[in-house]
Amino acid sequence: MDVLSSLRAARLVPVVVLDDAKDAAGLAGALVDGGLPVAEVTFRTAAAQDSIRTMADRGDMLVGAGTVLTVEQVDQAVAAGASYVVSPGLSRAVVERCAEHGVLALPGAVTATEIQAALELGLTTVKFFPAGTSGGAPAIAALAAPFTGVSFVPTGGVGPKNLQDYLGIAAVAAVGGSWMVPRDAVKAGDFDRIRTLTAEAVALVQG
């Protein structure tokens, strides 16, 4: 199964911020045990690369890099074992470097112009970010009408209360969220809480 198919199967992508790579193993275990063997580890902290390596080395989960802004970060993410790369916006340089590495690029795109630019780069799936302040599910439904072959991964402002609004749209491949991996719980090493929140999130998706 390819990366995009795996994301579609999961339907939900935990967006993770790790302040210390020593927490990566515990977090990965909690996600897998909670029934969601996938993660987007953001490059917002210096621990990102080592955290991705720790999680990818398990071999039983799909690990991507998030908040990737530069070609150098693409190289770092891929070297650490990331299977896909997520950016908040659309960068031709980042997308092209991902293609060179043979990894899936999911750039942010929330307007018709940005989506057309992504299509011109050969992409058919984009991150819709920040979803909550960019029109949410109604905006995606409206954009999906003219862009019939495009899939969206909405992230930002997504939670249990509006999750189904997004998942109910055929053009939505998966949804990114962080409520099941709260940063304070990660820092505190409260992986039991994360496992419980993850299992509850999976039940929401399946429900």
Catalytic residue positions, numbered? 40, 127
b/e map 16-25, b = 16+ CB within 10 Å? bbbeebebbe
Q: What is residue 70's three-state secondary structure?
A: coil
**What is the rounded (10 degree) CA torsion for 27, 33, 36, 38?**
40
Alpha carbons 134 and 159: distance in angstroms, whole number: 15
CA proximity to 163, closest of 151, 150, 178: 178
Find the DSSP H helices in 57-207: 71-80, 92-101, 112-120, 136-144, 163-167, 183-188, 191-206
Alpha carbons 26 and 41: distance in angstroms, whole number: 14
Strands (E), 120-174: 125-128, 151-154
Alpha carbons 169 and 140: distance in angstroms, whole number: 8
Structure tokens at 17: 């911020």
